[in-house]
Amino acid sequence: MILDATSETAPPAQLKDCAEKHDGRFWVQALPLLRALNTSSHRKQLALMASALMAVIIINTLGQIKLNAWWGAFYDTLVKRSLGLLANELLTFLIIVAGLLCLVVAQTWLQETIKVRLREWLTHDLMDQWLKPRRAYLLTQTGEAGANPDQYIQADARHLAETSASLIIGLFHASLLLVSFIGVLWSLSSQVVFTYGDSSFTIPGYMVWCALAYALTGSWLTWLIGRPLIKLNADRYAREADLRYAIVRINETVQTVAMERGEADERHGANGSIVNVIDLGCKLANGLSRLSWITSGYGWLAIIVPILVAIPGFFTGSLTLGGLMMVVGAFNQVQNALRWFVDNFPAIADWRATLLRVSRFRNGLSYLDPENDGAPGIALGPHPQGHVCFENLIIDRHGNPISFATPWIEIKQGERALVECASDCDKSLLLRAMAGLWTEGSGAILLPPAKSIMYVPARLHFRIGTLREAMTYPAVNGEFDDTMICAALVRVGLLHLLARLYDKDRWDRVLSAGEQHRLSLARLVLHRPDWVLFEDMAATANEQDLPLLRSVFTRELKASAVIGIGACPALNGFFGRRLRLSRPVRAVPRPVIHDAAIVGPGRPLEAAE
């Protein structure tokens, strides 16, 4: 079982350094993801599908070259006014288009399937990184830097996978078109003849140079105007996540809100998140509008530019109408390839923003591991006899340390110890320190094997799934059979839940507080741990269920050691030892009162003291 996390500490310096390190540097953001993909089990499947897609795109490009050549022959046939030749050209067109149609369908299927598989890999990878021991909890302690991991793993991972596949495939297709048609356009440039007086001349690769100049001008203007969109998109995703979290938090506490008539206050509190989203949306709308002046104007001018730059050859007669159409078609293909950056810049800005968020999240998780934290703190280690031992333990929280009165305390197997805390102490800190979730302080904690310990939080944790899975958590499937689970439920008086063992539900909402307390006892009966650690005895020891709790620890868990946190008068006699965590008593210096008659005239004050 796990402890509830509460964000209390400032963001670690390591996570801040990681964010600064990965901001704005593309390869630092992308390389860890590429290395992870290269070592994953999805690599072969993705590589095979990518190879098939490349082959389809190459064949498709050859078909486009054939189609471009057909346009020249078609216009020349129209000039000849021959129905027989026209019928032959139409038949050729149908054959070419049928082949291209099959290729487009295959390309679409492969492209969309690659998106799905890429998202599958990335989602699993981020889940693996997030749910490594203690990382998910430590992330909650980092403030805003660790907020909304669901946004990174679900929405950002999907968006990054889909945009990455689309942009990479589009770039490959555009590059192939450029390589294929630039040679065609270069050779057709020789047909554009210029006349000056009585002489005529050609410019080698004239149409290619015109296409390059036009594309470079448009790309430079697009980058100049659209670059701020990258940061705006990153900020938008962060604020969208904040809004979604605000809505989810209200939904999770609707009963409390309704009972306290707090709807108006919650509505007012949500306004801040909504305003942030809308403000960024307006800034994005303004940025995209400015960018549209370039992208749309560039596209409209591309209709007439190839005709204007090739018209001298048509006027001199060196180009036929069919030849002019072939030059225009090749120019447009080259231009479409070169304008890929212009057309896709909004998507590129969006992709870079998503890559920044995902890479910052993934790379930052590794900085939460204890081995990356060079600061001294509470040391955890195994106890040779499987006991619990506190050695010179001091737990520090914001400069306010707490400790035991005795520097060395050992709790043996089968003992029951109650740890009481002063009213101004956070009583959950000890259990968090024992679980390795709180390291601020000094000293050492020696523990039995982790598999022999069960933590019982004040609020029972339910994973989303069946009641059976809630009972066996965190054991693997198959460790307990249905007979054992049903026996545990019967033991704690939850007979009415036997028929719902395989029902999926929100058990934290379906079950009452009393039923949840009994279910936590049923878990203990089922797992039979050697050590049971209660986070809050006052919350756990429900008065109605006290006889049941005593009975379980008298029979099934008689040999189990128990450590409970917090005072609980109702369990008098249950614990054999009582320990106390408190702040160290600091000696308060007594004020020194100086009497002039005692000091005497002419005697220095320091000497009198």
Three-state SS across 548-596?
HHHHHHHCCCCCCEEEEECCCHHHCCCCCEEEEEECCCCCCCCCCCCCH
Same domain, 347 and 411: no
User: What is the percent of the chain with per-residue pLDDT over 70, rounded to a whole number?
Assistant: 85
Q: Is position 326 within any domain?
A: yes
User: What separation in angstroms does the CA of 244 have from each of 80, 88, 238?
Assistant: 66, 61, 10
Q: Is position 1 within any domain?
A: no
Q: Is position 602 within any domain?
A: no
Task: Judge residue 134's burial from the number of C-beta atoms within 10 Å of its C-beta, 0-12 exposed, 13-18 middle, 19 or more buried.
Answer: middle
Q: Is position 590 within any domain?
A: no
- The encoded tokens of residue 151 equal 């946004």
- pLDDT at position 439 is 84
66-80, 379-393, 516-530 — which is least confidently predicted? Answer: 66-80
CATH code, domain with 73: 1.20.1560.10
| Choice between 302 and 595, residue whose per-residue pLDDT is larger | 302
**Residue 359 near residue 125, CB atoms below 8 Å:** no
User: What separation in angstroms does the CA of 79 have from each of 82, 86, 192, 212, 326?
Assistant: 8, 10, 20, 32, 15
In this structure, the number of other CB atoms found within 10 A of the CB of residue 116 comes to 12
DSSP string, 359-380: HHHHHHHHTTSGGG--S---EE
Domain end residue (candidates: 372, 406, 428): 372
- The encoded tokens of residue 384 equal 């040779």
Helix axes 157-188, 206-226, angle to 10 degrees: 150
User: What separation in angstroms does the CA of 96 have from each of 67, 73, 103, 328, 332?
Assistant: 7, 14, 11, 20, 19
The number of domains in the chain is 2
Same domain, 396 and 351: no
Q: Over 80: is that where the pLDDT of 8 sits?
A: no
Side-chain half-sphere CA neighbours of 355 within 13 A:
25
Same domain, 335 and 420: no
Q: Is position 3 within any domain?
A: no
Same domain, 398 and 353: no
Give the pLDDT confidence of 307-321 residue by residue, as tens digits. Answer: 777 777 777 766 677
Give the pTM: 0.66
Q: Is position 404 within any domain?
A: yes
Same domain, 414 and 357: no
CA angle 405, 407, 408 (to 5 degrees): 120
- pLDDT at position 375 is 59
214-228, 294-308, 393-407, 489-503 — which is least confidently predicted? Answer: 294-308
- pLDDT at position 487 is 93
| Choice between 365 and 417, residue whose per-residue pLDDT is larger | 417
- pLDDT at position 284 is 83
Task: Judge residue 523's burial from the number of C-beta atoms within 10 Å of its C-beta, 0-12 exposed, 13-18 middle, 19 or more buried.
Answer: buried
Same domain, 328 and 470: no
Domain end residue (candidates: 372, 389, 424): 372
Instruction: Please give the distance of CA 146 from its chain centroid, rounded to a whole number.
Output: 10
Q: Is position 41 within any domain?
A: yes
Q: Which of 322, 444, 395 is nearest to 583 (CA)?
A: 395
- pLDDT at position 21 is 53
Q: Over 60: is that where the pLDDT of 125 sits?
A: yes
Quick one: pLDDT band at residue 256, thresholds 50, 70, 90?
Answer: low
User: What separation in angstroms does the CA of 69 have from each of 82, 94, 277, 337?
Assistant: 19, 14, 51, 18
Instruction: Please give the distance of CA 127 from its chain centroid, rounded to a whole number.
Output: 8
250-254, 526-530, 567-571 — which is least confidently predicted? Answer: 250-254
| Choice between 362 and 301, residue whose per-residue pLDDT is larger | 362
Same domain, 443 and 504: yes
Same domain, 438 and 361: no
- The encoded tokens of residue 355 equal 């890559």
Same domain, 363 and 420: no
pLDDT, mean over the chain: 79
The boundaries of the domain holding residue 81 are 19-372
Residues in CB range of 334: below 8 A, 6 or more apart: 177, 178, 181, 182, 185, 208, 211
Q: Over 90: is that where the pLDDT of 219 sits?
A: no
Same domain, 279 and 242: yes
- The encoded tokens of residue 485 equal 């689970």
Instruction: Please give the distance of CA 545 from its chain centroid, rounded to a whole number.
Output: 41
Same domain, 290 and 347: yes
- pLDDT at position 87 is 87
- pLDDT at position 448 is 93
CATH code, domain with 527: 3.40.50.300
- The encoded tokens of residue 322 equal 């069919």
- pLDDT at position 488 is 93
Q: Which of 449, 385, 413, 387 is nearest to 559 (CA)?
A: 413
Quick one: pLDDT band at residue 559, thresholds 50, 70, 90?
Answer: very high
Among 49-58, 149-158, 364-373, 530-539, the range of highest mean pLDDT: 49-58
Give the pLDDT confidence of 95-115 residue by residue, as tens digits. Answer: 988 998 999 899 989 999 999
- pLDDT at position 606 is 35
| Choice between 453 and 247, residue whose per-residue pLDDT is larger | 453
Same domain, 336 and 401: no
**pLDDT average, residue stretch 492-500:** 91
Give the pLDDT confidence of 21-60 residue by residue, as tens digits. Answer: 555 577 788 888 888 998 988 889 999 999 999 999 999 8
Q: Is position 9 within any domain?
A: no
Domain end residue (candidates: 312, 341, 372): 372
**pLDDT average, residue stretch 279-299:** 80
- pLDDT at position 131 is 85
CA angle 576, 577, 579 (to 5 degrees): 160
Quick one: pLDDT band at residue 599, thresholds 50, 70, 90?
Answer: very low
Q: Over 70: is that where the pLDDT of 586 sits?
A: no
**pLDDT average, residue stretch 496-513:** 87
